[in-house]
Amino acid sequence: MVLTFFKREDEALEEDHNAVQIREANILGALKGSAPQDFILKCLDCGDRFTFTVGEQQFL
């Protein structure tokens, strides 16, 4: 009975890992087709504005 519990837990972890891989692939595929986008952001501390370009960022 205990061995089957661990087997099910391992299967669940593998399914979670597969779901993460599928989600990452979907996100990367969506980003490939989109043009770089600029956002003008304002710092809450100092009030300065700056441009954030999504296409230049590497999200790890």
Over residues 10-41, the pLDDT tens digits come to 676 677 788 888 988 888 887 776 666 788 88
Radius of gyration of the chain (CA): 20
Which pLDDT band holds residue 60 (cuts at 50, 70, 90)?
low
CA-angle at 23, arms to 27 and 12, nearest 5°: 170
CA atoms of 11 and 5, how far apart (whole Å):
10
Q: Is the dihedral of CA 20, 24, 29, 33 positive or negative?
A: positive
Q: How many helices (H) does the chain have, and how many strands (E)?
A: 1, 2
**pTM score of the predicted model:** 0.39
